[in-house]
Amino acid sequence: MLTWLQKLFTRTGLATFAAQLVTPRAIPETLWQQTLQHYPFLAALAGADQQRLRQLSSEFLAHKEFSGAHGLVVTDEMAIAIAAQACLPLLHLGHKGLKLYDDFKGIVVHPGAMLARRKVLDAAGVVHHYSEVLAGEAMERGPVTLSWQDVAASGELASRGYNVVVHEFIHKIDMRGGTPNGCPPLPSRAAHAQWLAVMQPAYEAFKNQVVMAERFGAEPPWLDAYGATSPAEFFAVASEAYFVNRPRFEQDFAALAALFDAFFRNENA
């Protein structure tokens, strides 16, 4: 028997995510309710927002290719869970929402964390090779990779402001404005300057808090310290918390919460 997603993408007898554009079909009620049950921060949305998210998720699924790595089979439940969390930042972005994700098709799901080989050129011209453990990665104009282990744990990890799907798709939004720099695509230089006027001080304060905790034993920040590595990572880490545990996020980052509201809740975008 064909799964729901296979049926969604069947064209002239061919079941494929690479098929031509199709009219999205509603996510079945049973599958949608399972998603809400597993991810309480989605269940906490108002009824109208849940319905909007369900529609966005259907449209998202109609135009993306899912593939499993290392023998993983991506089920309907897994794809819908990823789609719903990927679309959460788009919920109030109006007509431009899904267009922010139209520069790629592929979503690769790994069973667990990935080991990525890296190389970096230092100031002396020496190339250093190293490995990095990743829960996800977003490539500019390329696919998104995700650890299913981390995606599945997102419901229980929301109290810590952690969500790998939101993190990687915020990177995708950041990339739409060019090289990721912690700023989404904005309509003018003035808007960009206003964004940085709030974001940059918050980032610098967060970096200082991380340094104080790691070097001098001060209280560690609530957000993942990985956000201190660059403005782009800070934007992604902060956005995770904003979308899955906004009340806690607002306690520590009231100015950022207001800034994110102005962008992500812009119904007239």
Residue 269 included in any domain: no
User: What per-residue confidence (pLDDT) applies to 30?
Assistant: 95
Domain that holds residue 143: 4-264
| The pLDDT of residue 26 | 87
CATH of residue 176's domain is 3.40.390.10
Q: Which amino acid is at 163?
A: N
Name the domain count of the chain: 1
User: Position 217: which residue type?
Assistant: G
- The whole-number pLDDT of residue 13 equals 37
Please give the chain's pLDDT, 269 residues, in tens.
347 666 665 533 333 333 333 456 789 999 999 999 999 999 999 999 999 999 999 999 999 999 999 999 999 999 999 999 999 999 999 778 999 999 999 999 999 877 666 555 556 655 555 556 677 899 888 899 999 999 999 999 999 999 999 999 999 999 998 889 999 999 999 999 999 999 999 999 999 999 999 999 999 999 999 999 999 999 999 999 999 999 999 999 999 999 999 999 976 55
- Exposure string of 112-142, with b = 16+ CB inside 10 Å and e = fewer, is eebeeeeeeeeeeeeeeeeeeebbbbbeeee
Q: Is residue 99 part of a domain?
A: yes
- Per-residue pLDDT at 124: 63
Q: Classify strands 144-147 and 106-110 as parallel, antiparallel or unpaired.
A: parallel
Residue 73 lies in a domain: yes
Q: Within 10 Å of residue 269's Cβ, how many Cβ atoms? A: 15
Residues 69-105 as b/e (b if ≥16 CB within 10 A, e otherwise) read eeeeebbbbbbbbbbbbbbbbbbbbeeebbebbeebe
| Per-residue confidence (pLDDT) for residue 14, from 0 to 100 | 32
| Beta-carbon contacts of residue 69 (< 8 Å; ≥ 6 apart) | 108, 109, 110, 111, 145
Residue 267 confidence (pLDDT): 62
Residues 6+ away with beta carbon under 8 Å from 142: 104, 106
Is residue 74 one of the residues assigned to a domain?
Answer: yes
Q: Is residue 146 part of a domain?
A: yes
**Structural domain contains residue 116:** yes
Q: Residue 166: which residues within 8 A CB-CB, separation 6 or more?
A: 85, 86, 88, 89, 236, 239, 240, 243, 244
User: What pLDDT does 178 receive?
Assistant: 84
The span from the CA of 162 to the CA of 150, in Å, is 9
